[in-house]
Structure 1
Amino acid sequence: MADLRRTLETHVSNGSVPGAVGLVAHRDRVEEVAAVGSVDVEGSAPMARDSIFRIASITKPVVAAAVMMLVEDGRIALEDPVGQWLPELASPSVVRTPSSPVDDVVPAVRPITVFHLLSSRAGYGFASDFSLPALAPLFSELKQGPPQPQAVAEPDEWMATLSRIPLLHQPGDGWLYNICSDLQGVLISRVTGTPLPDFLAERIFEPLGMTDTAFSVPPGKLDRFTSYYAAGPEAGPERDPISGLELLDAPDGQWSSPPPFPSGAGGLVSTLDDWLAFGRMLLAEGAADGRRLLTPDSVRQMTTNQLTTSERESGGLFLEGMGWGFGGAVDVETVEPWSVPGRYGWVGGTGTAAHIIPATGTVTLMFSQLQMGGPSFPALMRDFWRYAAGA
């Protein structure tokens, strides 16, 4: 009979990943937790429950929760145009059609609002067709794509560059991936006058006891920090001759010092138990240890699909059977054995996955250190979800 450890070990033993950790919790009880393999291909240390990972896009729900805290504080409202805090976006231009050249533009017909950023419908970002001309500068100039924290400009310079790039569609007219979460991070710092790392530490990490979650790893914790790899066609000359994996970042690499741009889309490092604390807060409708971080209404808005059927379909493989809430996907169709309508969460391109199922009070977490090759989910994730669902 399969168990969590055996499910993860299958992928370590076949050489596809150096190691992985997984956890399944129901309400206040951790049902299963397993750590298998090593923190790197050399086997220098065994993987552990408290190993630290680059969590990439499962940063997004955390930052969306922080935006909702500002809404509850009365500092911003969902319908507010963001131009008053992000003047670079006050009068954006839009390419005439999604396939138009970047200089064939028209004015935006409506302002970008806080709600547009939270629902990833501001007009910036990418979906299934990466060849569209307006997407090219997002990768080349803004360094969108696999996280590289030391290569991205500081927020004011980043925003100035973004202001010269047209929207792919009119604000509110469709869903696009990723960049709206980076904009949420800049919005938080502009509204509060506080750097994003400090705001998240004060309002989320410290109250929840998320002691290992941050935008960089201090020297005293580098021994718990995993190495990060690529496999397949994208792996280059640094490929390890035994494992076949290419080292993308070592513990003393890009996350060993604070980044110029703290990415709300994918910049955090964390552990299983830290993200479990965040997930349990959402399951408790914003409460944790007798303290309320968010109202139940805010949590429901975050974890409810905000997209129309056509907007979901435009997401292509990014939204396979899913919609989008604030900062994460929401299952709306049972298209796979693990699909549970109402399941909320997301995956990280560094090989991480985090979900909650409000109906059953479940949190499922799986962290590995292998870069995803595209928007389709790797076998390790699919097997973990299948196991967690009892399929």
Structure 2
Amino acid sequence: MSTLRDLLQSHVDKGPMPGAVALVARGDEVELAAVGTTDLGGGTPMARDTIFRIASMTKPITAAAVMTLVDEGRIALDDPLARWLPELSSPSVVRTPSSPVDDVVPAARPITVADLLTSRTGHGFPADFSLPALAPLFSELKQGPPQPQHVAAPDAWMAALSRIPLLHQPGDAWLYNLSSDLQGVLIARVTDRPLPEYLAERLFEPLAMTDTAFAVPPHALDRFTAYYGPDASGAPQLLDAPDGQWSAPPAFPSGAGGLVSTADDWLAFARMLLADGTAPDGRRVLTAASVVRMTTDHLTPAQREAGALFLEGQGWGYGGSVDITPTDPWNVPGRYGWVGGTGTAGHLIPATGAVTILLTQLQMTGPTPPPLTRAFWHHAAAA
């Protein structure tokens, strides 16, 4: 049977991906491989501590931070968001998803914290990206591939959001991405602290996630990858250099996709969830009940079907997908986690205690995971 290194090397050799780091962990047993280099110019060899833009692998981390506030009683799942996000106190909703942005009706009820955690606020991406109400999400809120230095600060961002109608009534539909950015703003408003500061204190420090942040400090830039995407011909083009958009703190720390991290850091986060919310030193990060809520599907069958472009039949917990039925060898009921548009993926399987993490620096071309990601999942399932 081929090793994890063999798998990664075969994909790097075919190009255009310059390198990758991946691990499969079961308890204390970890299979890890680092292949290729951090850039196409033959740069630094990939290593276990190479730092990547993890994109939407940020989402479960942000959701966990929200749940620390629930555990402390500072917010409740049925609380209306308007208590902390007054910009959402009187949202309007387009009459139908295809209606123009000025054809609106009032929201039938307030948006709640539970709506936010399950990505059912009414804001976000559906299967059809051409709907009129989506245009302002790209133009004004800079939703889409992460670009941290181009997004307005939270208060200005929220002011812009208040002028954009919901695509669906609160609670009616699962929509991708924007709810996780709202979670980051909620955390900062409830705690009266910047999101990076709160995440560092409540998650990164207890879990020794020393390389996870919204920017890479100067002393670590030599471990940070370049980031690529396909040009018109399919050839890789540089989207961001190590000294680019993640080399300075952003005005808007994106709870949806702004973090950088390493394989071992995300493994520490996953192991905390597998340990029912407990850090390695015995400190409790989350209650066991909150871990269950995070890793349990909350969607209806109709909502899963409508979100199939992103979910592919999976459900959604808080901040990540939850596998419902086995459709592939790697698709295990209860598997929780998510993929990142920068070419990353992180999952954990509560039933077996396994963790799988794949980190690359090649942008995905759509919501469907690329061939290497699926091959990695199959390898992990067979290992």
* Normalised-by-shorter TM-score class: over 0.9
Residue 370 in structure 1 maps to residue 362 in structure 2? yes
CA contact (8 A) 1:22 1:34 kept: yes
The corresponding residue for 1:13 is 13
Give, as a single letter, the amino acid of the residue that structure 1 aligns with 2:302: S
Q: Partners in 2 of 1:337 and 1:134 — Cα distance?
A: 38
Q: Partners in 2 of 1:144 and 1:157 — Cα distance?
A: 15
Q: Partners in 2 of 1:234 and 1:105 — Cα distance?
A: 41
The corresponding residue for 1:130 is 129
Residue 232 of structure 1, CA deviation: 5.1
Give, as a single letter, the amino acid of the residue that structure 2 aligns with 1:331: D
CA contact (8 A) 2:59 2:257 kept: yes
Residue 233 of structure 1, CA deviation: 3.4
The corresponding residue for 1:34 is 33
Residue 316 of structure 1, CA deviation: 2.1
Give, as a single letter, the amino acid of the residue that structure 1 aligns with 2:379: Y
The corresponding residue for 1:64 is 63
CA contact (8 A) 2:184 2:255 kept: yes
Residue 277 of structure 1, CA deviation: 0.2
4+ aligned runs moved over 6 Å, structure 1: none
Q: Partners in 2 of 1:342 and 1:316 — Cα distance?
A: 18
Secondary structure in structure 1 of the residue aligned to 2:357: strand
Q: Which residues of 2 match residues 259-338 of structure 1 at below 5 A?
A: 259-289=250-280, 290-338=282-330
Secondary structure in structure 2 of the residue aligned to 1:208: coil
Q: Partners in 2 of 1:234 and 1:337 — Cα distance?
A: 34
Give, as a single letter, the amino acid of the residue that structure 2 aligns with 1:217: V
CA contact (8 A) 1:118 1:181 kept: yes
Give, as a single letter, the amino acid of the residue that structure 2 aligns with 1:283: L
Gaps of 5+ in 1: 236-243
Question: Once the two structures are superposed, what CA deviation does each residue of 1:150-179 show, in whole Å capped at 9, x if it has no partner?
Answer: 000000000000000000000001100000
The corresponding residue for 1:108 is 107
The corresponding residue for 1:240 is none
CA contact (8 A) 1:127 1:316 kept: no
TM-score, scaled to structure 2: 0.99
Residue 234 of structure 1, CA deviation: 7.9
- Residue in structure 2 matching 1:344, options 336, 359, 378: 336
Q: Which residues of 2 match residues 78-227 of structure 1 at below 5 A?
A: 78-227=77-226
The corresponding residue for 1:238 is none
Secondary structure in structure 1 of the residue aligned to 2:21: strand
Q: Partners in 2 of 1:365 and 1:60 — Cα distance?
A: 15
- Residue in structure 2 matching 1:385, options 371, 374, 377: 377
CA contact (8 A) 1:321 1:334 kept: no
Q: Partners in 2 of 1:334 and 1:127 — Cα distance?
A: 24
Residue 352 of structure 1, CA deviation: 0.5
CA contact (8 A) 2:263 2:359 kept: yes
Residue 337 of structure 1, CA deviation: 2.3
Q: Partners in 1 of 2:163 and 2:27 — Cα distance?
A: 47
CA contact (8 A) 1:50 1:273 kept: yes
Give, as a single letter, the amino acid of the residue that structure 2 aligns with 1:223: D
Secondary structure in structure 2 of the residue aligned to 1:277: helix
Q: Partners in 2 of 1:317 and 1:190 — Cα distance?
A: 32
Q: Partners in 2 of 1:375 and 1:234 — Cα distance?
A: 20
Q: Partners in 2 of 1:198 and 1:184 — Cα distance?
A: 15
Give, as a single letter, the amino acid of the residue that structure 2 aligns with 1:138: L
Secondary structure in structure 2 of the residue aligned to 1:191: helix
Give, as a single letter, the amino acid of the residue that structure 2 aligns with 1:345: G
Secondary structure in structure 2 of the residue aligned to 1:207: coil
Residue 359 in structure 1 maps to residue 359 in structure 2? no
Q: Which residues of 2 match residues 246-265 of structure 1 at below 5 A?
A: 246-265=237-256
Gaps of 5+ in 2: none
Q: Partners in 2 of 1:254 and 1:139 — Cα distance?
A: 18
CA contact (8 A) 1:92 1:166 kept: yes
Q: Partners in 1 of 2:4 and 2:126 — Cα distance?
A: 33
Residue 128 of structure 1, CA deviation: 1.2
Question: Once the two structures are superposed, what CA deviation does each residue of 1:9-46 show, in whole Å capped at 9, x if it has no partner?
Answer: 1110001310000000012331x000000000011110
CA contact (8 A) 2:231 2:237 kept: no
Secondary structure in structure 2 of the residue aligned to 1:134: helix
Q: Partners in 2 of 1:43 and 1:143 — Cα distance?
A: 32
Give, as a single letter, the amino acid of the residue that structure 2 aligns with 1:20: A
Q: CA RMSD in A?
A: 0.9
Secondary structure in structure 1 of the residue aligned to 2:35: strand
